[in-house]
Amino acid sequence: MKSFVIASILALYSVFNVALAGDILAGKDRAQVCTACHGQKGISSQPIFPNLAGQKAAYLKKQLTAYKNGKRVDPIMQPIVTSLTEIDIDNIAAYYESLIDNPIFTALLGQK
């Protein structure tokens, strides 16, 4: 019983932590441009493009911001990221972090 309570608290913490960081549903909508390279649900079919599903939002935000600010250079990513606002980046990062095997996120996104 104790481990169930701890697991429940951790699951709720992760949901609220992501929810406070960005809007998952808005991120799903804004991430449509990402699917050509990173796959429909953040799993790339080509090894040259990294999988984004389940990545930590903080990591994704850091990388996207680095592309936007020119600290990371990539001819494919930079033109895409320059049009994103800080809110877009937060939302996209929250969306990709939510793509983990978590029934709460699955229900929120309406996936099976």
Of the pLDDT bands very low, low, confident and very high (cuts 50, 70, 90), residue 2 is: low
For residue 54, the 8-state DSSP code is T
Q: Would you say 26 and 91 are in contact if contact means Cβ atoms under 8 Å apart?
A: yes
**Residue 97 pLDDT greater than 70, yes or no:** yes
Whole-model pTM over 0.75: no
The whole-number pLDDT of residue 104 equals 56
Mean pLDDT value of segment 60-82: 97
Q: How far is CA 66 from CA 34, 35, 91, in A?
A: 17, 20, 16
Q: Cα(26)–Cα(60) distance, rounded to whole angstroms? A: 16
Domains located in the chain, CATH noted: 2-109 (1.10.760.10)
